[in-house]
Chains A and B, each alone.
Chain A
Amino acid sequence: MNSIFSGTRLRDMIRSIRACKTAAEERGVVRKECADIRASINENDPHDRHRNLAKLMFIHMLGYPTHFGQMECLKLIASPGFPEKRIGYLGLMLLLDERQEVLMLVTNSLKQDLNHTNQYVVGLALCALGNICSAEMARDLAPEVERLIQFRDPNIRKKAALCSTRIVRKVPDLAENFINAASSLLKEKHHGVLITGVQLCYELCTINDEALEYFRKVAPLFALDRSIYAYMSIAKCTEGLIKTLRDITNSAYQPEYDVAGITDPFLHIRLLKLLRVLGHGDADASDLMTDILAQVATKTESNKNAGNAVLYECVETIMAIEDTSSLRVLAINILGRFLSNRDNNIRYVALNMLMKAIAFDDQAVQRHRVTILECVKDPDASIRKRALELVSLLVNENNVKQLTKELIDYLEISDEDFKEDLSAKICSIVEKFSPEKIWYIDQMLKVLSEAGKFVKDDVWHALIVVISNASELHGYTVRALYKAVLTYSEQETLVRVAIWCIGEYGDLLVNNVGMLGIEDPITVTESDAVDVVEDAITRHNSDMTTKAMALVALLKLSSRFPSISERIKDIIVKQKGSLLLEMQQRAIEFNSIVDRHKNIRWSSLVERMPVLDEATFNVRRAGSLPASVSTMAKPSVSIPNGVAAAPLVDLLDLGSDDIMAAPSSSGADFLQDLLGVDLGSSSAQSG
């Protein structure tokens, strides 16, 4: 006969595994144990089964495969003894999942155990069934479970109730069978049974329309052959639930159920959830519950989490039922209070709920804007994110300036990892709601100065489109950009926008053209302007796009600033030796143009960019970049240069209408189109 102590004891196995210093060592121990267990399983000795399974479960939690132990679960469950069944069911729930066919084999044992004389065995079976059953098993065993809802022992009734929730989730068809039993649970006094009963009713109402009506008890009687509908006494379930909630809210201190001053918050919450389903879409039911909801909302202590959990559920319910605006305002005020709570969990939850509340009552939420803005600056990243989303939902024409100012102020001091989200949000707010162009340009400049490197391409492209359209602001813009780029030269996007503007409007810059009343005059010489552009090229951390744009700007400036065109030419020439192919190519081409400027209509070539059509741009942008935007030259160049492809034909003005602005990517073609002269002669010329 085997010794009772064959193989290691569970404790000892755990100890030896914990004593392992390396993963390999652990694997060794586990392997040996598994081998022992396998051998023991093969011997089919019932004595060790219990311990073997316990060990297997531990090994399973470590992450090792244990499928060879699945049958042991079944054997243990089939054993007569309670300890065996207990561990057998536990093993079943841990080692198997509902999709495995082995599970089906347990159905018979389950059936027997559901009818066992020992109520704790019944409990084990209900628990296992409720946690892991498949739809097939649910169908098979539903009648047993339904019967057990009326069992004499409350422990079994509550387990049967929850087991039924799983059954109806798996097989919604069966919902009707449980309506009667579930409604009887609503009259229970035992908290556990009441909680699970309410939960079951909630499930039924969510799945099944008829159940919903039944529990509302405002529908006409059904004249079906199911007599339960027609002839049940009007239990007035909704009213009954309200009464139960009132009782529990008003109840005296019950130490067994008290959590931080609330008597059984779990029951409160379940009741509120069920009332929510009953009230939603039904004005009468909603009407009945307004009093109790107001009472819960005002009387519940909110200094501890338990109270706040109840309040949260109450607010959810208020927002879901039919409109009673005073209640809604009350709810939103509660959320407003939550926002100032020191507990960041509460703040987080409030922000979430406020986002939903905006749909109902934007005004009420607006009142809490200041507090919400404070949350954007919260140390907790999840709260900041939520608050930012909420703020963007609150923006309208009236508050956009104030809000943007606050957000930009914060942008200056925020963490690096938050800057991206924040700047993106600010840009989208500004774009959507900006009342006037000058304000838009100002805000964008600030954002670019603070967080330029996080700003996406389409955003600064849009900015350029707006700038080009605001002809009265060209001077102002280029001067502002010039000043900004002196201070914030490391913000890539800012530099790009500045270079483009200086290239386009350099003459306005140096001549202080179009001064607005608010501006202070600045003195910028042509040389200063070129300094900025040159700096962008030579700075080591400028990227390709910036440098390329700088070269184009220089080309334009060589026409606008004839007095220093020599210096400009020198800079361009220097780039002919650049290690970057793109730069080399451009430098050669542009130098060619500069050399030849007597032969071609120079100023027309680089005259002011035609105003980019905003509408077209927006359409394009919405539809993402279409192929036509691909420019003649370089894929990285922004849209403005690409759009110029069309007008170049005009610039040539050589009277030949059949010259197409063919978007080609070779630089030589660019030259040919440009010159528009004999192709033969141009190709013979060198740069």
Chain B
Amino acid sequence: MSFDPMDRLMSLCVPSLNLRMHRSLIDSLEIQSCYLLSEHSCLASGFGSIHFVLLVSRQGKVRLTKWYSPYTQKERSKVIRELSGVILNRGPKLCNFVEWRGYKVVYKRYASLYFCMCIDAEDNELEVLEIIHHYVEILDRYFGSVCELDLIFNFHKAYYILDELLIAGEIQESSKKTVARIISAQDEMVEAAKEEAGSISYIIAQAS
């Protein structure tokens, strides 16, 4: 079998679909990944439904960022700056979708925080609104009436919860109960480990 990506691609291409090939060289030269982007509007590219998640406060402070598509650290800063500017300036009565750099960004404001998720232009924005709401409800249950301060001082927990909700930009679990259960099991493990460490140190401290 030929390893030339072009040959491989041609063998995979369905002629009726208008496929635009976007290649990126990642890592070693032998490994060439082919990203197929469908231009046929009815077949949305399934690739990386959500590209990134951004939580930003009314004053423009970043509270959480999660990146599912490759962005360098520099690119990330740029994106955050740009997008924050766009979203924070949106009027209150406008729809929750912004066209930005050829993508769509779905955002929703909860109290002082803007929850933003970036998707492809063909993706289902209404669903992403539901995903955002799903996340917020889970946070709310976990923290008990969550507020921005909770997410500031417990940012790592907000991330843990997000990681139970999304992987590779796709939704992982539709049951809030299940997510809560898994998080709580992990929290318990952390607590148990702390206690154990605490008690050992105590023993050692006693001994020395």
Q: A residues within 8 Å of B by Cβ?
A: 1, 4, 11, 14, 18, 54, 57-58, 61-63, 65, 81-83, 86-87, 90, 93-94, 97-99, 118, 120, 123, 126-127, 130-131, 134-136, 139, 155, 158-159, 162-163, 165-166, 169-173, 191-192, 195-196, 199, 202-203, 206-209, 256-257, 259, 264-267, 269, 273, 276-277, 280-281, 305-306, 308-309, 312-313, 316, 319-320, 344-349, 356, 379-383
Main secondary structure of the interface of A (DSSP, over half): helix
The reply to whether A309 and B42 form a contact with Cβ atoms under 8 Å apart is no
The reply to whether A61 and B155 form a contact with Cβ atoms under 8 Å apart is yes
Known interface pairs A136-B28, A345-B125; A171-B72 also in contact (CB < 8 Å): no
Chain B residue with minimal CB distance to A159? B167
The reply to whether A86 and B190 form a contact with Cβ atoms under 8 Å apart is yes
**Which residue among B16, B43, B72, B182 has the maximum number of chain A CB atoms within 10 Å of its CB?**
B43
Q: Which residues of B contact A63 (CB under 8 A)?
A: 62, 77
Q: Which residues of B contact A1 (CB under 8 A)?
A: 208
Q: B residues within 8 Å of A by Cβ?
A: 8, 12, 14, 16, 26-28, 31, 33-36, 38, 41-48, 62-68, 70-73, 77, 93-99, 124-127, 129-131, 134, 152-153, 155-156, 159-160, 163, 167-168, 170-178, 182, 185-186, 189-190, 193-194, 197, 201, 208
Q: Which residues of A contact B72 (CB under 8 A)?
A: 97, 99
The reply to whether B36 and A207 form a contact with Cβ atoms under 8 Å apart is yes
The reply to whether A99 and B26 form a contact with Cβ atoms under 8 Å apart is yes
Known interface pairs A97-B71, A162-B172, A382-B97; A57-B156 also in contact (CB < 8 Å): yes
Q: Which residues of A contact B159 (CB under 8 A)?
A: 90, 94
Q: Looking at the complex, which one of B27, B43, B160 makes contact with A90 (CB distance below 8 Å)?
A: B160
Known interface pairs A82-B190, A97-B71, A165-B170; A259-B178 also in contact (CB < 8 Å): no
> A97-B71, A120-B186, A277-B43 known; 7 other A-B pairs, CB under 8 Å?
A162-B167, A170-B33, A171-B31, A191-B174, A191-B175, A207-B36, A309-B129
Q: Looking at the complex, which one of A90, A98, A308 makes contact with B126 (CB distance below 8 Å)?
A: A308
Q: How many whole Å from A151's CB to the nearest CB in chain B?
A: 15
Q: Which residues of B contact A162 (CB under 8 A)?
A: 167-168, 170, 172
The reply to whether A356 and B42 form a contact with Cβ atoms under 8 Å apart is yes
Q: How many whole Å from A521's CB to the nearest CB in chain B?
A: 50
The reply to whether A305 and B168 form a contact with Cβ atoms under 8 Å apart is no
Q: Looking at the complex, which one of B36, B64, B71, B127 makes contact with A206 (CB distance below 8 Å)?
A: B36
- Kindly list the 9 A-B residue pairs having the minimum CB-CB distance in the complex, ordered from nearest: A320-B42, A309-B126, A162-B167, A166-B168, A192-B173, A130-B167, A344-B95, A266-B174, A309-B127
The reply to whether B42 and A131 form a contact with Cβ atoms under 8 Å apart is no
Q: Which residues of A contact B41 (CB under 8 A)?
A: 356
Q: How far is the CA of A99 from the CA of B65 in the complex (A)?
A: 18
Q: How far is the CA of A343 from the CA of B196 in the complex (A)?
A: 54
